[in-house]
Amino acid sequence: MNPPASPGADRSPDPYLPEHGNGGYRVLHYELDLDYRVVSNRLAGKAIVTARAVQPLSRFSLDLAGMRVQGVRVDGRPASFDHRRGKLRIKPERPIGYGVTFKTEIRYGGKPAPVSGRWGDIGWDELTDGVLVASQPNGAPSWFPCNDRPDDKAAFLVRFTAPSPYTVLVTGDLVSRRRGAGSTTWVYERDEPTAPYLMSVQIGRYDLVELAAGGVTQRAAITPRVRHAFRHDFGRHGEIMTALERLFGPYPFHEYVVVVTDDELDDPVEAQGMAVFGRNHVDGRRTHERLVVHELAHQWFGNSLTVADWRHIWLNEGFATYAEWLWSEVSGGVPEHVHAARWHAWAAAQPATVVVGDPGVDKMFDPRVYKRGALTLHALRVRVGEQAFFALLRSWVAEHRHRTVTTAQFRAHAARFTTAPLDDLFTAWLDRPVLPPPPRLL
């Protein structure tokens, strides 16, 4: 057995999930060749991970859970490895120098299963007849070897072979589809830098339909049983896309795909250029339209702009929640300030135990992070005024497109759009657990 990796090589700097992610290199590109059998839930894979060393490496590690590794090669040469407890530790035949780009080929296979943890089962999940992959925050290693940290964004090429009766959707642009004897190979490419947790695979007996017409390609994968209700519930999606582009700037990817599984889901989930809903989210009454808006907003906040580490999750969830309130107002529903007042009253009735800007790993998905994060934006809008607020939102999105972001960066960015001090506002709303009073509308 190899000696343990040097300190930090198999740990992430993320204080919330230090065991997920690795140091010493940054990934540039993933190439995945996958062959899947739905009935037996068997996956055979080859991954080629192209990375650049950011320090001299005598060994390094990747995250991979539950699979059996058959072999590893680094720059074409066999490498020794140790795979246990979700870490694939690799010792190349020759050390890798600082700044050198290197390729690691991993052949692996097995029965993929979700990663179990404090949030339940995350990652590869079998449906009644198909597969759903929802990896936030730590489920990506359930199906491919990766550097599982949100700040290591890379490009992807995925070739996925599955039985022909099934539609396979992977986050990315469809490059080709080749049908063979009983199976079909789907090839998807994702050029935009993408965090591993935002890569997804959806497999099912889906019909592909147009979601909305317009400048952005918008498609949906649905089952026949929801077709009629879906047409109504998602009937305003083109208008929602137009509204969010006007508020936040151009949609950051080539297309947007909505998947409605034939199973029920507790919550919808977003991936890069994709959102997944359960059939229970489609009822023919637009009951869940706010969730449609929320998941689409994540394409700007979370996917194009990705948190540098999980302390900053309010930059994803607070912004997507605020988008719900904005859509309500622009679509003729309840005004934004009424939503803010209602949710402030709700937050006032909750225990003051969450610091929005650094909630801690146990509370990173707490509803108070979502709602108080949105209230922070409402308070900022009141303080700086309409024109400056939306200008700073659009420039925030544009300047950090396809990059990673932190709360400190957002605070500094907002300060550029007003002569009024903002430190007191951000300190009260983001750094302290006590809920500030509602901002006074001018």
* Token pair for 25: 């290199």
User: Would the CA dihedral through 90, 96, 99, 104 be positive or negative?
Assistant: negative
Tell me the three state secondary structure of residue 249.
coil
Give Cα separations from 23 to 20, 66, 138, 214 (angstroms): 10, 22, 16, 42
Q: Is 312 annotated as a binding residue?
A: no
Cα–Cα distance for residue pair 10/144, rounded to 1 Å:
17
Tokens of 410: 């957002």
Given 192, 270, 289, 295, the catalytic residue = 295
**What are the residues facing 290 on neighbouring strands?**
none
Helical axes 314-330 vs 336-348, angle rounded to 10°: 130
Decide: 188 and 158 in contact? Cβ < 8 Å.
yes
Q: What angle do CA 112, 118, 122 make, to 5 degrees?
A: 25
d(CA 236, CA 233): 8
Q: How far apart are CA 158 and CA 173, in angstroms?
A: 10
- Phi, psi of 387, deg, nearest 5: -65, -50
Structure-token pair, residue 34: 């996958």
The single residue listed with the structure tokens 């929602």 is 240
Give kind and range of the element (H or E) at residue 212: strand 207-212
Name the one residue in this structure whose structure tokens are 């409402």: 378
* Encoded amino acid at 256, one letter: Y
* Amino acid identity for residue 15 in this structure: P
Q: Is 281 annotated as a binding residue?
A: no
The strand pair at 305-307 and 403-405 is best described as: parallel
Annotation-wise, does 254 bind a ligand?
Answer: no
93 catalytically annotated: no
- CB contact at 8 A, 47 and 90: no
State yes or no: is 251 an active-site residue: no
Of 188, 206, 322, 370, the active-site residue reads: 370
Is 181 exposed, middle or buried, given 0-12, 13-18 or 19+ CB atoms closer than 10 A?
A: exposed
The CB density around residue 52, as the number of other CB atoms within 10 Å, is 14
- Residues making up the binding site: 294, 298, 317
- Residues making up the binding site for Zn(2+): 294, 298, 317
- Catalytic site residues? 295, 370
